[in-house]
Structure 1
Amino acid sequence: MARVSQEHLDARRRQILAGAARCFARNGFHGTSMQDVLKEVGLSAGAVYRYFSGKDDLIAAIADEAFGSIRRAFEEAAELTPPPTPDRLLGRVLRGVFDRQVYGMERRVCAALVLQVWAETMGNERLAKTLDDGYAGMRAAWGKLVDAYRAAGLMRADVPSDDVARTLIAAAQGFIAQEALFGGVRPEVLENGLRALMSMDPPKSS
């Protein structure tokens, strides 16, 4: 019997995940059944269950990829030398997240799927652990970036690095949420807004 190549196995797994993601994006995690997924991907139950034990396993795999995509965008941006200012940095992160076009879906659909994953973590310990690990990794990477800002004389030293890192992450997360809810989010909007905020001078005391 001919052996199935790893490339074939990986492609089939991606086919299943892509079909499941489209179903989840349309109908939500709880509104999608395994029969819906089977119909979407056009495969037998045996073919799908060879890769995934059920819907929860599919959701976990999609969550891993969603978190991984965001984490990679943050890590890639944080590794730049010299470090870009926050406005350019977050613009780069958002482009990295949105331009990846996860599962070939449109940007707003991808963002909506990310929001669904975030919501699902509230009642799913397995997903919550994945999210916690990814978030900790992003905070560590961006904390190092804050240290680089300070070493270059670009940022004051009296604010904890983690506070700055969490604020940067929150800004990116907020824009992903805006894209999911309203659409039409452009990274340059965030860049312009941050640039304006960064230009503010504190009022002079009389």
Structure 2
Amino acid sequence: MARVSQEHLDARRRQILDGAARCFARDGFHGTSMQDVLKEVGLSAGAVYRYFSGKDDLIAAIAGEAVGGVREAFEQAARLSPPPAPDVLIGSVARTLFGGEADAARGLDRRAYAGLIVQVWSETLRSERLAKTLGEAYAGLRAAWAELVGVYRETGALAADVPDDDVARTLIATAQGFIAQLAMFGDAGPEFLERGLRGLMSMDLQKIS
């Protein structure tokens, strides 16, 4: 019997995840059955269960990819030297996550993918496994962003005596808010986020203090 290559195995796993993501984005986690996933990907139950034990396993895998995508997008932007200002940084992350090429690769448009991420967040209220996975990922993301905030402080760009972790949490919240707006209303884009942050950063606080 011919040995199946790792490339083939990876491609089949990708096929299943992408098909499941389309189902979940269209009908929700709880409105989608494993039969729906099998029909979407055009594979037998045995072929799918070789990779995933069930729907919860698929949800966990998609959740891990979504959070990993946010972190990877941030780290890619943060590798620039000197590091970009917050408006450019968050805009770059948004473009990496919701750019045209990324949308085409997933088979989902940007609003559908944002909605899938929001579903993942809400599912953590039900699933201890998912809550633990996302909690660990969030802690790692906070640490990475706090490190970048420390670089801002070292360069003198950040003068306020505010803990680095507080600033990191706020940057993450800004990205989360953008994703939620995109999922709910579909009219948000990285350019709005960049311009809005740039406007806030340009405020002369002495005039309102």
Q: Same fold (TM over 0.5)?
A: yes
CA contact (8 A) 1:91 1:190 kept: yes
Size of the aligned set, in residue pairs, is 206
Amino acid corresponding to residue 30 of structure 1 in structure 2 = H
| Matching residue of 1:200 | 203
| Matching residue of 2:35 | 35
| Matching residue of 1:26 | 26
Structure 1 unaligned segments of length 5 or more: list them: none
Which among 142, 167, 170 is matched to residue 164 of structure 1? 167
| Matching residue of 1:78 | 78
Q: Which SS does the other structure have where 2:205 is aligned? A: coil
1:162, 1:127 → 2: CA distance? Answer: 23
CA contact (8 A) 1:75 1:138 kept: no
2:10, 2:84 → 1: CA distance? Answer: 36
| Matching residue of 1:7 | 7
1:176, 1:50 → 2: CA distance? Answer: 33
Q: Which SS does the other structure have where 1:192 is aligned? A: helix
Q: Could you tell me the TM-score, scaled by structure 1's length?
A: 0.96
- The Cα of 1:105 is off from its aligned counterpart by 1.0
- The Cα of 1:205 is off from its aligned counterpart by 8.7
1:204, 1:90 → 2: CA distance? Answer: 27
Q: Could you tell me the TM-score, scaled by structure 2's length?
A: 0.94
Moved more, 123-132 or 196-205: 196-205
1:53, 1:127 → 2: CA distance? Answer: 15
Structure 2 unaligned segments of length 5 or more: list them: none
Q: In the TM superposition, what are the counterparts of 1:101-120 in structure 2 within 5 Å?
A: 101=103, 103-120=106-123
- The Cα of 1:144 is off from its aligned counterpart by 1.0
2:140, 2:98 → 1: CA distance? Answer: 20
CA distances 1:51-89 after superposition (whole Å, capped 9, x unpaired): 111111111111111111111112222222101111111
Q: Which SS does the other structure have where 1:127 is aligned? A: helix
RMSD: 1.4
CA contact (8 A) 2:115 2:180 kept: yes
Q: In the TM superposition, what are the counterparts of 1:96-135 in structure 2 within 5 Å?
A: 96-99=96-99, 100-101=102-103, 103-135=106-138
